[in-house]
Amino acid sequence: MVPWATTSGLKIVIIIVVAIVVVRLGNLVLQNAIRRAVSIKGFASHAGEKRREDTLISLFTATLHIVVWLIVAIMVLSEIGLDIAPLLAGAGIIGVAFGFGAQYLVRDIINGVFIIFEDQFKIGDVICTSGVCGTVERVSLRVTTIRDLDGIVHHIPNGELKVVSNQTQTFSRINMDIDIGYASDIDHVEKVINNLGADLIEDSEWKDKIIEPIKFVRVNGFGDSAIQIKILGMVTPGDQWEVAGEVRRRLKKLFESEHISIPFPQQEVRVIGKQKDYIEGET
pLDDT tens for each residue of 14-69: 888 888 998 899 888 888 887 777 654 544 556 556 666 776 777 678 778 888 88
Q: Which of 48, 35, 34, 42 is nearest to 122 (CA)?
A: 48
User: Do 79 and 31 share a structural domain?
Assistant: yes
Kindly report the CATH number assigned to the domain that includes residue 207: 3.30.70.100
Mean pLDDT of the chain: 80
User: Do 181 and 158 share a structural domain?
Assistant: no
DSSP string, the chain: -HHHIIIIIHHHHHHHHHHHHHHHHHHHHHHHHHHHHHHTT--S-HHHHHHHHHHHHHHHHHHHHHHHHHHHHHHHHHHHT---HHHHHHHHHHHHHHHHHTHHHHHHHHHHHHHHHTTS--TT-EEEETTEEEEEEEE-SSEEEEE-TTS-EEEEEGGG-S--EESSSS-EEEEEEEEE-TTS-HHHHHHHHHHHHHHHHH-TTTGGGEEEEEEEEEEEEE-SS-EEEEEEEEESTT-HHHHHHHHHHHHHHHHHHTT-------------HHHHHHHHHH-
User: Do 146 and 160 share a structural domain?
Assistant: yes
pLDDT band at 154 (very low <50, low <70, confident <90, very high): very high
Range of the domain at 192: 172-257
In a domain, 273, yes or no: no
Residue 274 pLDDT exceeds 60: no
Mean pLDDT of 208-220: 92
- Predicted local confidence at residue 121, as pLDDT: 86
User: Do 140 and 73 share a structural domain?
Assistant: no
Kindly report the CATH number assigned to the domain that includes residue 33: 1.10.287.1260
Cα–Cα distance for residue pair 54/35, rounded to 1 Å: 9
- Predicted local confidence at residue 194, as pLDDT: 94
- Predicted local confidence at residue 59, as pLDDT: 67
Tens of pLDDT, residues 81-118: 766 666 655 556 556 555 655 677 778 888 888 887 78
Residue 216 pLDDT exceeds 80: yes
Percentage of the chain modeled with pLDDT above 90: 32
Cα–Cα distance for residue pair 265/223, rounded to 1 Å: 10
Percentage of the chain modeled with pLDDT above 70: 76
Please state, as a whole number, how many other Cβ atoms lie within 10 Å of the Cβ of residue 270: 4
Mean pLDDT of 148-159: 92
User: Do 75 and 160 share a structural domain?
Assistant: no
Residue 279 pLDDT exceeds 90: no
Cα–Cα distance for residue pair 263/233, rounded to 1 Å: 24
Q: Which of 129, 201, 124, 113 is nearest to 164 (CA)?
A: 129
- Predicted local confidence at residue 42, as pLDDT: 45
pLDDT band at 282 (very low <50, low <70, confident <90, very high): very low
In a domain, 157, yes or no: yes
User: Do 156 and 79 share a structural domain?
Assistant: no
User: Do 212 and 188 share a structural domain?
Assistant: yes
For residues 277 and 19, which has the higher predicted lDDT (pLDDT)? Answer: 19
- Predicted local confidence at residue 215, as pLDDT: 94
Please state the domain count of the chain: 3
- Predicted local confidence at residue 132, as pLDDT: 92
Cα–Cα distance for residue pair 262/177, rounded to 1 Å: 12
Alpha carbon 99 to chain centroid distance?
A: 30
Q: Which of 122, 19, 126, 14 is nearest to 67 (CA)?
A: 19
Residue 213 pLDDT exceeds 80: yes
Whether 30 and 49 have beta carbons less than 8 Å apart is answered as no
pLDDT band at 179 (very low <50, low <70, confident <90, very high): very high
In a domain, 12, yes or no: yes
pLDDT band at 3 (very low <50, low <70, confident <90, very high): low
Mean pLDDT of 220-232: 90
- Predicted local confidence at residue 11, as pLDDT: 80
